[in-house]
Structure 1
Amino acid sequence: MSLLQRLALASLIALLPACATLTPAQREHAARLVLEARPQQVDCDRADACAQPSPLRALAAEAFAQSTPETPRHYALLLDRGTDALLARINLIRSATTAIELQTYIFDEDDAGRLVLDELIAAARRGVRVRVLIDQLAALRHVDTLTALAAAHANFEVRLYNPVLQRARTSYPQYVLAAACCWRGLNQRMHTKLLLVDGAVGISGGRNYQDEYYDWDPEYNFRDRDVLVAGPTARVMDVEFDAFWNDRRSVPVERLIDIGRRVLREGVPTLHPAQFEQPQRAEAMRVDAGDEALVQQRLADRALPVGEVRYVSDPPDKHEGEGHEHAAASESLRTLIESAREEVMLQTPYLVLSKPAQQMFREMQERADPPRVIISTNSLASTDAFIVYALSYKYKRRYLRDFGFTIYEYKPFPLDAPVDLAATGVALPASQPAGVPHARRPRHPQGSATERERYRHLSREYAALRYARRRANEPVPLRRAGVRVGLHAKSLVIDRQVGVVGTHNFDPRGDEYNTESAVVIRDPAFARELAASIERDIAPANSWVIAPRDKPPVLSGLDYSLGKVSEHLPVFDLWPVRYATSYEFMPGPACPLPVPPDTPGFRACYRPVGDFPEVSLGLKGLTTRIFTAFGAGLAPIL
């Protein structure tokens, strides 16, 4: 047997476990055992399922009372701070009287994930129907947990969307097999995110169920954004959720192969009590969620009365054939952007545009009076996906010059971010306010087992990088230690009249592969509030501005032309001098306020700080440039 034949045989043997399955009779028997193990008893005999009074739930009652079929009324609440977003979720779950629907991409088994799970199960036990739909690629860590949840209660159901090889968890050999046979299907993920209570109040936006989204991680937290909507549009959310729940790709967990084998082999496991890393923090959140006055003050009082609200959601049919055929979210966002007359504010963590989006911005820039386009995105120092940043870096000249963008890149240690650092559990210096990020030593050393596990989960927004090496998935090393913050919010403001909060990263994955959703609110007050939130993110304390670098003293035209030619190459984009770099605002008597890069005197108030400020240049910096040169073909899946 030749060496090639031996290698092929070894590969086949390694992949054989991925092909192991259950007979139909075995699968039915395992599912029946799970159903029989579900408790039927309900802890409450009241018609309202012993729901907790909630000021957020009361907003829906007011909205429905004020609405007519011709003039619907809603309340909308921006959830910028992570701890507020978690507080709102738990408070709403406790207010449910009939039904809770939860749809998400990532659901982890850390403190935030287990706290929400506990609240959902408690709601089921008091008589509320709870349905949880999670994309399989990022659904919990352990088969035992999913198996126990399948039998948690008769009112509690869990389904996984598009399970790879019909399994709850996928090993590396199984992932390789799925990638080899079904690459497009493997990448078709449910990125839609929704929490809906009683068909009356919904929360949608960028957040998954993981510590990093709620200011609870000691190393890296996302600056994210959700919107709570109370009123008639929640009924549309209910219909859209049902479409996913009833789709053939949404599989009850008890019918998955690895869970069925676990049940047949060892029976149905018990869901063990949560072992919180910081139990006092979890208990404090439980107490706060039951404090009606606190929820009223921190959340409900800030809700805005608004009129027209639309919930736009890609249907699961998007995963039939070519994704763009049912890309309702992409088409809706594109129509809104094209309608702009004066200004587009777009916030995305990953500035990689699809070809149709690039053509749209190019045509808008060719108008006689093009709108101003402001982009808020991540820097290399703040992003959780440096490979994606490399492609954004590649096209900076195109974005600035051809599309007229004004780009701001988020800093890893923003000084005025809506992030509750005290909630991370990291000891703050006595002189440091809890709301102001500051460089400090991480609680876990870089490279520890805890660190490796954490950053593996951070990468899971990207199906193509799911099993990449750890160092490919970590944020880049920085020059100083601290609780890093990365941008994850996906929002849009058109002419300060329309505000959008959703899940779409305005990228090719969102157009072609992922299902996405967005809440569109046509209300000037809401649009102004959302614009102010983005303006806070792009302020000098929180972001660098990207602008053309100073021209070389000689041959500047040749340098520009060669750089442009190099950028257009799909590979071998090796020109060493890029068109743009990062700038830091330098306030002074002559520069009291920050100004856009196209303003006369910009360079008198800003100093260049390099292409990758705050980054400890080394192998990651070199790798970023390599992906800039050779990675253009990855754009559709990144």
Structure 2
Amino acid sequence: MSRWWRALLPALLALSCGACATMSQAQREHATRIAVSARSAELDCAAADHCAQDSPLHALGEKALLASGPDDPRHYALILDRGPQALLARINLLRSAQAKIDLQTYIFDEDDAGRLVLDELLAAARRGVQVRVLVDQLSAMENVDTLAALAGAHANFEIRIYNPVLNRARINYPQYLVAGICCFRRLNQRMHNKLLLVDDEVGITGGRNYQDDYYDWDPEYNFRDRDLLVAGPVAREMGANFEAFWNAFRTKPVEQLGDVGRRLLRTGVPDLPPPQYTQPQRAQAMSRDASDPALIERELVAQAIPVGAVQFIADLPQKHRRDPVRAEAAAQATPGLNHLISSAQQEVLLQTPYLVLSGPAQQMFESLQERPSPPDVIISTNSLASTDSFITYALSHKYKRRYLRDFGFQIYELKPFPETVPVDLAATGAVLPDASLTLAGQQAMPATTRAMPPAGAGNDDNDNSDSRGTPMQREFFAGRYFGNDAHQPVPLKHAGVRIGMHAKSMVIDNRIGVVGTHNFDPRSDHYNTESAVVIEDEAFAQALAASIRNDIAPENSWVIARRPKPPVFSGLEYSLAKISEHLPIFDLWPVSYAVSYDFKPGPQCMLPLPPDDPQFSQCYEPVGAYPEVDIGLKRISTRIFTAFGAGLAPIL
């Protein structure tokens, strides 16, 4: 029996008994009473500030609010490039909360990083802080028992699920297929916002979810990501946006959903099991460091940048309404970001993990290029070797000619083992061989070897116990329709801790900096709700630009440019490739317009050059369309999605 039929048969069975998953109004009320009655109101602290830990980070919010006037807001902005520092900042802020904590996220896993944050949230609730957690359904906590335990954990703790299709907190892969059949539009409408807000004074937003690979804690694959901590009056605007989602029609208390509610009705509220950390010493060290004010001051606060006004542009949940007028009015992120790009005069520096542009975005960039003096457009994104979404990369590969020639993009694709990006390999817990270290500390291995698995991991390709690979635990959305393999990075010629781009940031003319959740793709435009922080300040913009420019340095990224022209019929080949590219679905031309190039420094090549520089060909050598990849059968599937995947663009 094929894999598709093995997935389809359970889906049909689930569809035939779908009524079993629903609860009556009386059952929902009963489940709610069970959860509420189990919630302890006992507090660990009687102090007015709820025993909040002194925090230099939290003090930035108080300082900014005191310095702000009605027409003169003051803020502090801190770029969180490093994963462990981003987690450290979160833990420290949670302990500093005096009144309330609001957390909004797309993914909340039950691995080490997720459980560490969860325990801090519960500890804050037990000392008297009001804690609210809002998670999108598709990537909520993996176990129904965990959600049932949290439903009755404490009177100060509440967890809700956004847009629960099939009236469940969790759906497995067969149920996902069923939801795709019965309610495709709703299934695709997701809350992609990420926000941690403490006392309406300090907020963190950006690309990171609550999962090990966003904090350099995964021994196999980690994201190069970016958050922004902002302290000051704009935190209240963040709070208002969170409130809109918390009270949205599609937001449901977890105890009222079919799977969790029935668990409560059967056996009551279960106990939350103690954490089982895969790296307990690492978790203990993070917990200890989060209580060290000198370390927080040195590692975080000292890098905060004082700025003036800060703009928070965010979609509202009404973006998911069927009424097109209300939906358009609630979609704030895409128009705001497009306006910033259109305002560029000298340069757009854009970082996105998935270079798949919507039709309006393509028109916008084409109009920029048609100006008498168009701005430079520099793109930092994933290579096939680094991405967690080979389907998306395959589709973006279809448009390389258009991006380079029609839009004037300078594209830099992240290497899987970059040398100087801010990723802490020591924090991953990976065990690397000692001999023959190459590629920034990675071990050279035979071409057939994949990146090394976590210690103790099984070898069964069908084992879905690792939540990082399950259909509901990755941000790459469309691939869930194609099974678990769609989430696996392609095999490489070397083994090691692979790094993939996940940061979503932009700098306009070296004076406006943007950090947010928007991937600059059709899904972010039309289906996901998104948010971003915009700061017009030269010091901040230059710091953010320096971070992105480091990512595109030759030791970290390949540059994409037109491949060397063939000696004969180059014009004919170009014309045929262009015709094939413009076909609405098919792109069958087998020859790539562009390939990756690697910088080769020398006496005549002291500094990196842009692809349009006359000396480019002397200082760069082509390394193929898919460098570092042990492509194998992935070449076939990549070509298939390049040829036939155009219709998937809106949901990628």
Provide TM-score, normalisation by structure 1.
0.96
Q: CA 1:94–1:544 in structure 2 vs 1: closer, same or farther (change >3 Å)?
A: same
Name the CA distance, whole Å, in 2 between partners of 1:435 and 1:228: 32
Aligned counterpart, 1:320: 321
Q: Is the 8 A contact 1:416 1:437 kept in 2?
A: no
Q: Is the 8 A contact 2:596 2:623 kept in 1?
A: yes
Aligned counterpart, 2:264: 263
Q: What do the CA deviations read for 1:16-58 (whole angstroms, capped 9, x no partner)?
A: 3332121211111111011000000111111101000001001
Aligned counterpart, 1:526: 540
Name the CA distance, whole Å, in 1 between partners of 2:169 and 2:464: 23
Q: What do the CA deviations read for 1:544-563 (whole angstroms, capped 9, x no partner)?
A: 00001111111111010000
Aligned counterpart, 1:615: 629
Q: Is the 8 A contact 1:311 1:518 kept in 2?
A: yes
Q: 1:502 aligns with which of 504, 516, 520?
A: 516
Name the CA distance, whole Å, in 1 between partners of 2:562 and 2:554: 18
Name the CA distance, whole Å, in 1 between partners of 2:10 and 2:615: 66
Q: Is the 8 A contact 1:417 1:436 kept in 2?
A: no
Q: Is the 8 A contact 2:83 2:423 kept in 1?
A: yes
1:59 aligns with 2:60: yes
The aligned amino acid for 1:119 is E
Q: Is the 8 A contact 1:159 1:253 kept in 2?
A: yes
Aligned counterpart, 1:391: 395
Q: What do the CA deviations read for 1:566-597 (whole angstroms, capped 9, x no partner)?
A: 01112331111121110000000110111000
Name the CA distance, whole Å, in 1 between partners of 2:482 and 2:357: 23
1:472 aligns with 2:486: yes
Aligned counterpart, 1:336: 340
Name the CA distance, whole Å, in 2 between partners of 1:447 and 1:611: 31
Q: CA 1:607–1:633 in structure 2 vs 1: closer, same or farther (change >3 Å)?
A: same
The aligned amino acid for 2:422 is P
Aligned counterpart, 2:247: 246
Where in structure 2 are the equivalents of 1:370-519 lying within 5 Å? 370-428=374-432, 436-439=440-443, 442-444=452-454, 449=463, 453-456=467-470, 460-519=474-533
Q: Is the 8 A contact 1:421 1:435 kept in 2?
A: no
The aligned amino acid for 2:452 is P
Name the CA distance, whole Å, in 1 between partners of 2:434 and 2:479: 40
Name the CA distance, whole Å, in 2 between partners of 1:212 and 1:486: 10
Provide TM-score, normalisation by structure 2.
0.94
Measure how far apart 1:12 and its partner are: 5.3
Name the CA distance, whole Å, in 1 between partners of 2:557 and 2:640: 25
Name the CA distance, whole Å, in 1 between partners of 2:225 and 2:651: 22
The aligned amino acid for 1:23 is S
RMSD of aligned Cα (Å)? 1.9
The aligned amino acid for 2:556 is N
1:306 aligns with 2:307: yes
Name the CA distance, whole Å, in 2 between partners of 1:85 and 1:253: 28
Aligned counterpart, 1:626: 640
Measure how far apart 1:242 and its partner are: 0.3
Q: Is the 8 A contact 2:101 2:196 kept in 1?
A: yes
Q: What do the CA deviations read for 1:163-198 (whole angstroms, capped 9, x no partner)?
A: 011101113343222211211110000000000000
Name the CA distance, whole Å, in 2 between partners of 1:184 and 1:9: 23
Unaligned runs of 5+ in 2: 1-7, 445-450
Aligned counterpart, 1:3: none
Q: What do the CA deviations read for 1:496-526 (whole angstroms, capped 9, x no partner)?
A: 0000000000000000000000000010000
The aligned amino acid for 2:410 is T
Q: CA 1:152–1:373 in structure 2 vs 1: closer, same or farther (change >3 Å)?
A: same
Q: Is the 8 A contact 1:452 1:470 kept in 2?
A: no
Measure how far apart 1:443 and its partner are: 4.1
Measure how far apart 1:436 and its partner are: 4.6
1:142 aligns with 2:121: no
Q: Is the 8 A contact 2:389 2:479 kept in 1?
A: no
Q: Is the 8 A contact 2:194 2:206 kept in 1?
A: yes
Measure how far apart 1:326 and its partner are: 2.7
Q: Is the 8 A contact 2:138 2:473 kept in 1?
A: no
Q: CA 1:524–1:11 in structure 2 vs 1: closer, same or farther (change >3 Å)?
A: closer
Aligned counterpart, 1:78: 79
Q: Is the 8 A contact 2:436 2:443 kept in 1?
A: no
Measure how far apart 1:303 and its partner are: 0.2
Aligned counterpart, 2:447: none
Q: 1:604 aligns with which of 592, 612, 618?
A: 618
Aligned counterpart, 1:5: none
The aligned amino acid for 1:258 is D
Measure how far apart 1:617 and its partner are: 1.5
Q: Is the 8 A contact 1:193 1:205 kept in 2?
A: yes
1:170 aligns with 2:157: no
Name the CA distance, whole Å, in 1 between partners of 2:107 and 2:11: 31
Measure how far apart 1:430 and its partner are: 6.1
Name the CA distance, whole Å, in 1 between partners of 2:264 and 2:473: 30
Q: Is the 8 A contact 2:77 2:229 kept in 1?
A: yes
Q: CA 1:511–1:631 in structure 2 vs 1: closer, same or farther (change >3 Å)?
A: same
Q: What do the CA deviations read for 1:244-299 (whole angstroms, capped 9, x no partner)?
A: 00111110001101111111111110111111111110000000000010010000
Unaligned runs of 5+ in 1: 1-7
Aligned counterpart, 1:577: 591
Name the CA distance, whole Å, in 2 between partners of 1:27 and 1:304: 48
Where in structure 2 are the equivalents of 1:328-367 lying within 5 Å? 328-367=332-371
Q: Is the 8 A contact 1:15 1:173 kept in 2?
A: no
Q: Is the 8 A contact 2:432 2:443 kept in 1?
A: no
Q: Is the 8 A contact 2:83 2:216 kept in 1?
A: yes
Q: Secondary structure at the match of 1:124?
A: helix
Name the CA distance, whole Å, in 1 between partners of 2:354 and 2:218: 21
Name the CA distance, whole Å, in 2 between partners of 1:89 and 1:174: 34
Name the CA distance, whole Å, in 2 between partners of 1:525 and 1:435: 33
Q: CA 1:459–1:279 in structure 2 vs 1: closer, same or farther (change >3 Å)?
A: closer
Measure how far apart 1:450 and its partner are: 7.2
Q: CA 1:381–1:434 in structure 2 vs 1: closer, same or farther (change >3 Å)?
A: closer
- Identity level (%): 65
Name the CA distance, whole Å, in 2 between partners of 1:405 and 1:354: 16
Q: CA 1:450–1:317 in structure 2 vs 1: closer, same or farther (change >3 Å)?
A: closer
Q: Is the 8 A contact 1:417 1:435 kept in 2?
A: no
Q: Number of matched residues?
A: 631
Q: What do the CA deviations read for 1:217-261 (whole angstroms, capped 9, x no partner)?
A: 000000000000000000100111000001111100011011111
Where in structure 2 are the equivalents of 1:221-232 lying within 5 Å? 221-232=222-233
Aligned counterpart, 1:295: 296
Q: What do the CA deviations read for 1:324-366 (whole angstroms, capped 9, x no partner)?
A: 5532000000000000000000000000000000000000100
